[in-house]
Structure 1
């Protein structure tokens, strides 16, 4: 396995081709699930299939973004999350009458493998917030934040202004979504916590330095035009 991994890592073309194929295959699977869900009369089963489709679609988008990145040893997480957030508009559109998604970040460099875990994590957190934080008929916002830390690591936050976090079996830490979040955090070797955002819920994850060598002249938290980014990525309103 080590030899195979080394050979693969040395080939940008193979890495791009793999991500392209994975994205296409997952997109096809999501489409098949959507088609099958139309034939099911049980509302509960439809909800489960829709959640599965959204998760598969989110993972496909992660690999599609990785496919478009030229470097295979590092990438700017700020750019990656901003692009990925645009892909999440469909999740927000399906979740309620109106959801606004914001992103504010600084330049942070990670490996493609780490970006994959972070992308899955962000997609799950945004999807959960859009679906559960607000009543179906209410407007709401979801904010994603990315910042470098003085100690050399970085911090990711996802928060809403909705109902708030309720620990326990029926809260945000129960179910498949919680397991996906936990697995992603564990894969990164990071630490996380849930906070009361008053109002709403805030997810906070701290991760240590992840790259032994940075791109020339670039370091985690280096502004380079990213400090102060605060873009409203989308407004999803019922049409």
Structure 2
């Protein structure tokens, strides 16, 4: 019996170590892809191409950060989103060379653990919406604020809100007809989460995503 217990313990330990190694290698491989994009970005003189490469690099970084959090976690099934969001948004501020004294970042996140299938699309949504706010919401170097909230609305419903007090969306903006890559990607990710997207543009812009906690 003791041999069986030891054998089972050894099997679970080995599986745990193998999973950690997989997440570590995925993170490293994504880091290589990100570095290649950065090298290409430095070689191009076209500002449009530079912006596209930088956006792609940030999307990859948001996924790599999920695998890094899992690698460093004692529980390989959970990502601590309360820690993930500040790390991701700090990376975005650095990537776009934004002074935090000019654009204030307000993060309100409940303690929440997500599995990888939920964390990756949530991370990509945050990446897209915060990036868009940093690039377009505060023209002319005006000061402002970006707010990221993530909380449990009920026992089974999670809510993610990204809000800014910038210039807002165009008057004729229609999310159903929008063809920009960022909005299209966000809509696809919300659909992947089987969630609901609500957009408001009053004294800034607010994106509210609600979806069911997959663990319930």
Give the TM bin, normalised by the shorter chain.
0.7 to 0.9
Aligned to 1:194: 199
Q: CA RMSD in A?
A: 3.0
Task: Tell me the matched-pair count.
Answer: 204
Residue segments in structure 1 that go unaligned for 5+ positions in a row = 1-9, 213-239
Aligned to 2:156: 152
SS at match of 1:44: helix
SS at match of 2:200: strand
Distance 1:180 1:16, change over 3 A: farther
2:54 and 2:101 map into 1 onto residues whose CA distance is: 18
Q: Indicate yes or no: 2:182 matched with 1:177.
A: yes
Distance 1:95 1:48, change over 3 A: farther
Q: For residues 43-87 of structure 1, what are the alpha-carbon distances to aligned partners after superposition, in whole Å with 9 as ceiling and x for unaligned?
A: 322222222222222322232223222212334433332343333
Aligned to 1:206: 210
Distance 1:76 1:24, change over 3 A: closer
Structure 1 residue 92 displacement after superposition: 4.6
Q: 1:165 aligns with which of 155, 166, 169?
A: 169
Query: Map of 1:1-239 to 2, 5 A cutoff?
Result: 11-94=15-98, 98-150=102-154, 152-166=156-170, 168=173, 173-196=178-201, 198-212=202-216
2:192 and 2:155 map into 1 onto residues whose CA distance is: 21
Distance 1:169 1:49, change over 3 A: farther
Q: Is the CA contact (8 Å cut-off) linking 2:63 and 2:124 kept in structure 1?
A: yes
Distance 1:14 1:194, change over 3 A: farther
Distance 1:112 1:87, change over 3 A: same
Structure 1 residue 125 displacement after superposition: 1.2
Q: For residues 165-212 of structure 1, what are the alpha-carbon distances to aligned partners after superposition, in whole Å with 9 as ceiling and x for unaligned?
A: 23547999432212221222122111111112x310000011123213
1:171 and 1:201 map into 2 onto residues whose CA distance is: 16
> In terms of mean alpha carbon deviation, does 187-196 or 159-168 score higher?
159-168
Relative CO higher for 1 or 2, CA cutoff 8 Å, sep ≥ 6? 1
1:172 and 1:92 map into 2 onto residues whose CA distance is: 28
1:92 and 1:80 map into 2 onto residues whose CA distance is: 19
Distance 1:13 1:154, change over 3 A: same
Distance 1:114 1:14, change over 3 A: farther
> In terms of mean alpha carbon deviation, does 33-42 or 91-100 score higher?
91-100
Residue segments in structure 2 that go unaligned for 5+ positions in a row = 1-13
